[in-house]
Structure 1
Amino acid sequence: MPRRTATMLASTLMLIALLCAGVFIPVPYAEMSPGPTVNTLGDHDGEPVLQISGHKTYETSGHLNMTTVRVTSADYRMNLVEAVYGWLAHDNRVVPHDTLYPDGKTEEEATQENAEEFSQSQESAKVAALKELDIPVKSWVVVSTVVKDSPAEGRLHAGDVIKAVDGRTVGEPGDVADLVTEHKPGQDVVFTVVPAKEQAAAEKENRTPTKTEEVTITTTTSDDAGEKRAVVGISAGTDHTFPFSIDIKLADVGGPSAGLMFALGIYDKLTPGSLTGGKFVAGTGTIDDAGKVGPIGGIGMKTLGARSKGAQYFLTPADNCAAAAADIPEGLTLVKVDTIDDALGALKDIRSGKTGDLPKCTTK
């Protein structure tokens, strides 16, 4: 065989081998891309996203769109060719697999965590919106989760209302951990609780719960990194009773990042006039009960997704501003917000046409 022919054959075989390696050898990466964007003021799958009953509501106009990111599943194994294509594609982002699924988290675990965060974001959105409108909301500290095989398992239950620890009144979820860690591992701690079933019955009958129980639990030593401390194996959270019904109907969405846009949508429906003035506003950001807006992941994917649907303005958490401003889709104005008050102020400027007054995101 002539040398030139042999060289070409060897090169071809090498190229085929490299292509096969690229297709069949997995790499430890995952991919993010723009996901669906939904108008919180409109309908989704044939029904209103925000459904409010028991209180006067008003007509709205324009868009207050929540945004999402589409990610590959935890068990998906990307190959080298797909990774290279993702790195080159402007609308996609390839990231280390552990960035999306740390500590070997399974698809089921990630889905469950996202569902819980989404549910909590809805509750906080309702609270933040109603507080902004000076509508009273009843709140109390509850057991959110109980760790399997912990001292609290079988003693405390999710939904139990924590009234006191060692006789000292609990006002915030953080109070529970503070009071427990005053003990040394192995010491007893006494919880005064309203059982979840009693609390549910009282809410249904519109009465104040009367039954409380004292539960004594022996603490154990924390097994996480850092200084060892006394724990009982629960996480505390906040539950609420609202003066009227607010339902958020949006399936197949997870995580906490829609909190801000849900809060603004609720506020808009409960107040006369239009928050947007008919403009197309999208955004993202977690929100807590006090109306504080927090950062989220995948900001670049969300701005791309919003602009592709026609968004003119994008409400951006302050802590995401620098990253978002590094690659702004043409025609989209990034508006920096740190609280729900900031967002409402920005919307006032947008609907009045005073866009020069908007606090815009910069790379600094």
Structure 2
Amino acid sequence: MSLSFAKPTTRTIIRTLIPIGTALLAFVVTGFLLLAGGFDPLEAYGLILQGSVGGVREGGETLVRTTSLLLTGLAVGFAFRCKIWNIGAEGQLYFGAIGAVVIALTVVGQIPVFGIIIAIIFAMIFGAGWAAIAGVLKSRLGVNEIIVTVMLNFIAILFVDFLVHGALKAPGFEPQTALIPLTSQLPILIEGTRLHAGFLVAIAAAVLIYLILFKTKTGFSLRATGVNPKASGYAGINVKRSILLTLLISGAVAGIAGACLVQGVNDRLLVGISPGYGFIAIIIALLGREHPLGITFVAIFFGALMSGANLMYQTMGIPVAIAETLQAMVLIFALVGEFFARWKFKEAPK
């Protein structure tokens, strides 16, 4: 028996190279911006590399950030693949964090292992519930999910501020909750780092999302509904149910990201618990082509950027925001590259 492999087409090769090319181009353009500011771009990029993978601690910090980016990226990518434009992963993350801390601070949170699992489950329920608002409004009333999810982001962030300044505030001056018990905290995977078991949860989520999307009838129905709701309805697919289910799954995954921040990073709920992971997730989902594997690689890349930017700031005084500029550059050039690919091959937008 012989194995044969299809020869990659020019279109496939170009589309594969677009993310790589856009990343390199973004580094070049950002390098010129650094030069204009009086900084050495080679030294800056060297520090980013050193600060992200220069040692066990640095690598662990990169994967800590990757965990939240991967989970929110999967949440957004799953919805986008089903043509549901969930821009609310940040708000769903915040509500997931609320769910995790609420259960962790109860008697249930003091039960070893069980406390961890239940807190994550509650985070999923809270995240899914927050996303369900947009799901119901879209499926029942036809309200645009982009507008709803964007507004829900700000409501969720402000609601957390309200809670940590009021009902859930721990004694003291800082707006934060009490520390959750050790029995509800995610175990550390590598001694001397902050890398927690949430990273394994994120990898498992990526595998599960892939299986749901591409290996199940449910995934096929969800994707078909997004491509052509009318045809899907004629084929017997419950379109309203598919829309709601897509947002429920997406919100649940984003909620896990909130649980990881509470149970693995901060060990409590506090103001600004997320530095914008849910918003960066939109870029990650687009660059990863809404596929779990692509999203995983892009999340690692962005996690390295965010982790390494801290050392760059400490050593050279370059604002950490330069990493955000680099991320934006990658997205802009990727969109230009995608436009070029579609024009080149006369391909209609999906």
TM-score by length of 2: 0.31
Pair member with larger Rg: 1
Higher relative contact order (CA 8 A, sep 6+): 2
Higher strand share: 1
